[in-house]
A and B are shown apart, each in its own frame.
Chain A
Amino acid sequence: MEKDSLKGKIDLLLIAGSAGSLDVLLKVLPAIKYNLSFPIIIVLHRKASYDSSLINLFNSKATLPVVEAEEKDSLQNGKIYVAPSDYHLLVETDHSVSLDYSEKIQYSRPCIDVTFETAAEVYKTRIAAILLSGANSDGAAGLKSIKNHGGITAVQNPQYAEVSYMPQKAIQIAPIDYILNIEEIANFINKLSL
């Protein structure tokens, strides 16, 4: 990728994954620059009971403040929002988030596709999404939707992902702009910032 070509391109970054993506995030979050010019939303499939410890764990590693998204939160630049377990997280036109306790989709709540699709409709070309390791096809349709609206799509290189199914599935159905190794992800995020 050309140097600085990504600079200032987006107003929101989405990162999502399932099995095997927690370790990736713990490597990526400490390397993100502290004055990032956009917010990040993380959607992670997981068991319901570990929520507060997950936020604490992220906060102990991340350069940016990490919070569990609360309903009607307005997204602020340089802040990381984690979708709470057992709720879908949707992005509203006023750049706030809302939560939804409707049926599981793709056996998942939060469902990655729901967040990606609602965010794509609002942010159109001004968004990027990265899909990490996982054993489920959630996120692939969402990445397609991001691309349809002119956003930037990226996946973790399935070859090195702990579970390759999720990024592999995304590559099959959606145009992917960047296939990244773990050590390239933080750099990619930082380049998107102003």
Chain B
Amino acid sequence: MSRRQFVRTAATALGAIGFPSVMPASVLGRGGAVPPSERITMGFIGVGGQGGGHLFGGAWTYVVGGFAGRPDVQVLAVCDVRRGRREDAVRRVNAHDAESRGPGSAGCQAYVDFRHVLDRADIDAVLIATPAHWHATMAVMAAAAGKDIYCEKPTAVTIQESQAVRDAVRRHGRVYQAGTQQRSEYGGKFRLACELVRSGRIGRLREIYCHRDGGAIAWPSRPAEAAIRPVPDDLDWELYLGPAPWIPFDGNAGAHRFDVGELNWGQHHYDIIQWAAEADQTGPVELFLEDGRSGYRYASGVTVYGRPHPEERVGGSGGACFVGTAGRIAVDRETLISTPASLAREPLRPDEVHLPRNHGHADNFLRCVRTRQRPICDAEVAHRSASALLLGGIVKQVGRPLRWDPLAERFPGDDEANRFLRLAKRAPWRT
């Protein structure tokens, strides 16, 4: 019996034994509200800046009002290694639920250990917004626990992790949405840019300029004795580190302390590049370095440079500049611009490429949770976008051109480079 079925059955049984006859309209689904049995129940793992934005919305976030404000979602759990954050989040969720759904509906609980969230059979889906080194481990465990997953970028910090996420989601039949919302948001600018490129408006696509290049993860070395500090009472340092090698607390429990290069933002850019280059099921075949920045080539011959186009400023916030034989199109969250201007001036004709559209990235995820279809940035798409980013990180570490087999997902005959495909996790964590 599913949770929703259970809630329905329980409500019927309670009614039969004389539950109070006055019930909020929302329980019965009137007044535009969604009855509890139809709400998707969610747990939020990581409620700092990004997770808090997803949960409650905010000026910078694209999730208006946050998941907590959606009538079709009930947040049952929040989890964070910092006490202040999780207590603040649970207080706000419960206050919101009490106010909007009635006093009896405030049932959110706070957890320090995400495994307790995954253990709850009444939770349908989790949103993971932790530091990047946790993303894949948590996603794989969530899939195994039968949860649907919305996970922030980067999808993973190594290629092996990214494969493990894809495989676990596929194996367990879960719905996975990567937090690369540019395919859904920003007024459809990115979609339109990809449609124009794929429709041949710029002629044959030859080059793509990406404002960010490759990224990787860096485990910390042990801090000097002088830098070691007592772990603050409100922080679970062990759970912050998780799969990272253990080090004493040195005052830095930041979201990006292990990031190297463009690990945090790069997947946004490469996700759009993959979309425009029709490479969602594949990846680069050659990688190279140019003035210290990574780049790559697809089998189609399209070259992707990890640097801005020399004459184009548009592209900095998540975008790219696509150069073809007949012109170029640059896009980011604020602007879509073409050279010559006429390329983007004409609307898409019926016979041109039309890519899927939706009513928002979060909405697309929740809809797929209901219909069991694949979201726009599902695990396969996310794996390939993350790979494009992480391969850039590898070529920077190896320091020479590399060949990549996107089918076998190996560097053919290159043991040195293949060592960078994975990074051992501290026990007991694994993907």
Report if A and B associate in a common complex. Answer: no
B-contacting residues of A (Cβ < 8 Å)?
Answer: none
